[in-house]
């Protein structure tokens, strides 16, 4: 029960609020919302890592002058929760990199726009955040590919480029970011760890005109596609291969320190968890180039690594789980595809990524535990190709050996999908973005402690 007197005071305060809202406020009234005092801190914390000069967002929100013309659009974007971007269903899982604004922050921005976007007192403005040029992390080491020329007007091209780390001891990577040399041509880039003695063989394989081609695949230029006559399996869970090509299975292990995808930010793993790059390893940069400019463009893509500064307890790796055999009919606005994968060992779950192309509509992954319990672990209800986030759990948890991961995706190959390159085509797996993929990636750690010696923190 709220005492009567307090209720009266609250009512009185509410009335004052009404008056103030009607434009009665004085310049120093506590109700006034100003850019310098109230709005800038929100933008600095939540927006400017993308909304600053030469970054991925179309406009800077670093200063009052930059921000003022966008005030209405900003209000709209935050009220509708379009910005900051985030596509995981907040009712499923708690994520440490969830950037969504609080209701109070949204109300502040809303109030600022409604009350005339005032700048306020210069002394209220906190110092603007600073960033190392280009990076969103502060790398200890940067490894860069040799300059690569992407021919003007070239179609999609997957290049495999190997860069020696020259590490003389094992290194533990806590955070990493892949920075495209030229965003106009780097469509995506995956950086994985590879042993030095495997590089020559890989390079030889990749240089073959029929690299990756088997009875299910063919190649045009430097990209792979699924053959039209490959078996069709939309419901991967109904097949012994889980949706993977026969005999290959739907999931495989990969060690991926960093990836650049549309809308994907630097990955920072929770304290105590890190990825091992063994001494002497190479990094494989798989770069998907796509040059729509008429000119040759030179690229030097890099990865920045932040080493673990505290003892590492658990080593990180990733399962990449796919359906590679689906067929999305033309004009189908809601085509269902599933994949199934049974975990071959106990894992501690750290993060999830959903990967589809322009026709991707939604994706849900459910864990079926060995004891029969079902639990939805990730739900991306409105997938957007432009925003391929990796969702890092606040609380890591164990998925025991034998847990079945069932991923269900829906694709929209209709006219209603504004991003659809061509609704008249039947679509199968393919590396170019105008074909499709259906992937769920599980970043996990070994639940066992890494041995004490290896766990010594590195400078
Ligand atoms: C992860 C990077 C990122 C973050 C964080 C981010 N934005 Fe954006 N924002 C973008 C990109 C890229 C676009 C353009 C593409 C799009 O609209 O999806 C955009 C578009 C916008 C637009 C639409 C512009 C238009 O054309 O109408 C507004 C407004 C906006 N952002 C405001 C904000 C605000 C306010 C925040 C913080 C509360 C924020 N953004 C956080 C990357 C980001």
Indicate if the pLDDT at residue 28 is higher than 60.
Answer: no
Residue nearest to atom 1 of ligand 1 (CA): 50
Candidates 291, 320, 287, 69; CA nearest to 180 is 287
Residue nearest to atom 31 of ligand 1 (CA): 83
Candidates 280, 66, 95; CA nearest to 170 is 280
Indicate if the pLDDT at residue 2 is higher than 70.
Answer: no
What gap in Å lies between CA 41 and CA 35, rounded to an integer? 9
Atom of ligand 1 nearest to the CA of 56: 12
The pLDDT of residue 133 is: 78
Torsion angle (degrees, nearest 10) of CA 205, 226, 157, 358: -140
What's the gap in Å between 102 CA and the centre of ligand 1?
17
DSSP E strand boundaries for 48-152: 141-144, 148-150
pLDDT tens by residue, 75-94: 999 999 999 999 999 999 99
Average pLDDT along the chain? 90
Indicate the domain borders of the chain: 33-124, 141-445
Share of the chain above pLDDT 70, in %: 92
What gap in Å lies between CA 235 and CA 250, rounded to an integer? 12
CB atoms within 10 A of CB 272: 17
The pLDDT of residue 26 is: 45
What does the pLDDT average to over 372-388? 96
What does the pLDDT average to over 261-278? 92
The pLDDT of residue 452 is: 52
The residue with greater pLDDT, 10 or 204, is 204
Residues written for the chain:
459
Residues touching ligand 1 (Cβ under 6 Å) are 46-47, 49-51, 56-58, 70, 73-74, 77-78, 83-85, 99, 101, 265, 386
What gap in Å lies between CA 308 and CA 310, rounded to an integer? 6
What's the gap in Å between 74 CA and the centre of ligand 1?
8
pLDDT tens by residue, 241-258: 999 999 899 999 998 989
- 146 SS3 class: coil
Residues 6+ apart with CB under 8 A from 3: none
Atom of ligand 1 nearest to the CA of 74: 29
What does the pLDDT average to over 302-312? 95
Q: What Å distances lie between residue 68 and 35, 36, 110, 124, CA to CA?
A: 9, 12, 13, 17
What's the gap in Å between 262 CA and the centre of ligand 1?
13
Is residue 347 within 8 Å of residue 447, measured between CB atoms?
yes
Q: Tell me the angle at which helices 103-114 and 71-79 cross, rounded to the nearest 10 degrees.
A: 150
The pLDDT of residue 15 is: 42
Indicate if the pLDDT at residue 156 is higher than 90.
Answer: no
**Residue to probe by mutation, ligand 1, list 81, 85, 87, 391, most atoms within 8 Å of CB:** 85
The pLDDT of residue 222 is: 84
Residue nearest to atom 19 of ligand 1 (CA): 57
Indicate if the pLDDT at residue 220 is higher than 80.
Answer: yes
Q: Which CATH number fits domain 141-445: 3.30.590.20, 1.10.3470.10, 1.25.50.10, 2.60.120.230?
A: 2.60.120.230
The pLDDT of residue 10 is: 44
Most confidently modeled range among 55-59, 439-443, 453-457: 439-443
pLDDT tens by residue, 103-132: 999 999 999 999 999 999 999 999 999 887
What gap in Å lies between CA 260 and CA 243, rounded to an integer? 25
Indicate if the pLDDT at residue 64 is higher than 80.
Answer: yes
Indicate if the pLDDT at residue 419 is higher than 50.
Answer: yes
Candidates 111, 57, 62, 112; CA nearest to 84 is 57
């Amino acid at each position: 029960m709220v005492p009567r007197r307090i209720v009266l005071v609250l009512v009185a305060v509410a009335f004052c609020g009404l008056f103030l809202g009607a434009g009665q406020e004085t310049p120093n009234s506590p109700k006034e919302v100003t850019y310098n005092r109230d709005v800038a801190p929100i933008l600095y914390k939540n927006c400017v890592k993308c909304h600053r000069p030469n970054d991925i967002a179309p406009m800077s929100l670093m200063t009052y002058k930059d921000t003022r013309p966008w005030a209405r659009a900003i209000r709209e974007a935050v009220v509708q929760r379009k910005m900051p971007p985030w596509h995981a269903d907040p009712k499923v899982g708690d994520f440490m990199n969830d950037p969504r604004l609080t209701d109070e922050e949204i109300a502040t921005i809303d109030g600022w726009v409604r009350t005339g976007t005032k700048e306020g007192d210069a002394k209220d403005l906190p110092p603007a955040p600073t960033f190392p040029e280009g990076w969103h992390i502060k790398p200890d080491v940067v490894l860069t590919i040799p300059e690569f020329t992407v021919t003007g007007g070239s179609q999609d091209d997957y290049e495999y480029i190997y860069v020696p780390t020259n590490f003389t001891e094992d290194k533990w990577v806590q955070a990493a970011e892949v920075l495209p040399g030229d965003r106009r041509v780097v469509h995506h880039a995956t950086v994985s760890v590879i042993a030095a003695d495997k590089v020559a063989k890989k390079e030889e394989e990749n240089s073959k005109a029929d690299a990756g081609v088997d009875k299910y695949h063919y190649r045009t230029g430097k990209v792979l596609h699924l053959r039209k006559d490959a078996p069709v399996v939309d419901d991967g869970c109904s097949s012994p291969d889980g949706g993977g090509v026969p005999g290959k299975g739907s999931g495989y292990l990969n060690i991926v320190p960093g990836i650049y995808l549309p809308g994907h930010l630097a990955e920072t793993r929770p304290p105590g968890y890190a990825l091992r790059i063994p001494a002497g390893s190479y990094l494989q940069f798989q770069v998907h180039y796509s040059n729509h400019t008429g000119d040759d463009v030179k690229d030097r893509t890099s990865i920045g690594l932040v080493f673990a500064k505290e003892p590492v307890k658990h080593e990180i790796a990733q399962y990449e789980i796919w359906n590679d055999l689906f067929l999305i009919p033309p004009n189908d606005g809601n085509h269902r595809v599933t994949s199934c994968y049974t975990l071959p060992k106990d894992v501690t779950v750290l993060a999830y990524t959903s990967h589809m192309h322009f026709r991707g509509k939604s994706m849900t992954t459910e864990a079926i535990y060995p004891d029969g319990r079902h639990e939805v672990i990730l739900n991306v209800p409105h997938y957007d190709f432009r925003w391929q986030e990796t969702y890092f759990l606040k609380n890591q948890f164990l998925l025991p050996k034998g847990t079945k991961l069932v991923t269900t995706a829906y694709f929209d190959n209709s006219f209603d999908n504004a991003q659809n390159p061509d609704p008249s085509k039947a679509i199968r797996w393919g590396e170019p973005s105008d074909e499709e993929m259906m992937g769920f990636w599980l970043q996990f750690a070994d639940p066992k402690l890494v041995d004490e010696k290896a766990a010594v923190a590195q400078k």
